[in-house]
Amino acid sequence: MLNTLWKTTALDTDPGEMAWEQFHESSKTGRYDLALTNEQVLAEMDNLYTALPYRNFTPLPLPDTLAPMPRGFADIVRARVTPRACTPVPLTLEQLRTVLYCAYGETRDNIGNPYVHRPFRTVPSGGGLYPLELYFYQRGDVAGLEAGIYHYSPALNALHFVKPGNVDEQLAHALVDFQSGLARDLSVVVFITALFQRSVFKYRNKGYRFCLLEAGHVAQNLNLSATALGLGVINIGGFFDRRIDDLLGLDGIHHSVLYLNGLCAGDSHGDIV
């Protein structure tokens, strides 16, 4: 019934079949699908960046320490809510580093591992390929950082300052109308993006599905770590993808945004979503 409803309300220019049905069917693993050899996979992994290097940008080191999290894990899980209203809040560089590290930081190396040549991170990743990149925008609420867009480098525990200046207006126009105010109400907006080739070269269409799953892992880690620091988190799906890609300087095909997460003042009276 629901499927029929969607098809009857689709625009005339839409294809006859629903895109999600085509994607899910084509991303299934078949028993007789051919797979690359371990040697081929390792060779391609060594040919692809672990994280974008931004070699023309001077890395801005992040603190080596993590901000304290006084609450236990079960309490943090129960406390995770979506705030009813978002207001900016000052953040320290240590707090920012804690959220980024918990979301997608490197936890241990893989020296001597014959199957995976990349360090492990805080989330599971299909084949240890880690196809995602994290960017964030802040207008001055993080102590010691100028307003602008930054790229997070887990390998360096550092930031790349990729786009200086206030982009509130552009970000507001990249969000759906009823959420456009978040561009000014959030202290930090995190952009989870994917370089699909890092995953699809090995897993083909299912590699794209793995990118989406991994973005969910990262977002949940971000939610829980921010909650542990007493911050509010709002998870944003209402955005115009191409405008966000343009804002970040992504081509939108090989590298594109998947998900947005915003940090703000904590709200103990939020609605659990």
Residue type, 117: H
How sure is the predictor about 199, in pLDDT bands with cuts at 50, 70 and 90? very high
- The 10s digit of each residue's pLDDT in 19-73 is 889 999 999 998 888 889 989 998 998 899 989 999 999 999 999 999 999 899 9
Domain 28-265 fold: NADH Oxidase (3.40.109)
* Section 231-237 average pLDDT: 97
In terms of phi and psi (left: phi > 0; alpha: psi -120 to 50; beta: otherwise), the region of 148 is left
Domains of the chain: which residue ranges? 28-265
Query: How far is the C-alpha of 216 from the C-alpha of 192, rounded, in Å?
Result: 10
Q: What is the 3-state secondary structure (H, E, C) of the chain?
A: CHHHHHHHHCCCCCCCCCHHHHHHHHCCCCCCCCCCCHHHHHHHHHHCCCCCCCCCCCCEECCCCCCCCCCCHHHHHHHCCECCCCCCCCECHHHHHHHHHHHHCEEECCCCCCCCCCCEECCCCHHHCCCEEEEEEECCCECCCCCEEEEEECCCCEEEEEEECCCHHHHHHHECHHHCCHHHHCCEEEEEEEECHHHHHHHCHHHHHHHHHHHHHHHHHHHHHHHHCCEEEEEECCECHHHHHHHHCCCCCCEEEEEEEEEEECCCCCECC
Q: What's the pLDDT at 118? A: 84
Residues ≥6 apart with Cβ < 8 Å to 175:
182, 183, 236, 238, 239, 240
Which residue did the predictor score with more confidence, 15 or 205?
205
* pTM for the predicted model, two decimal places: 0.91
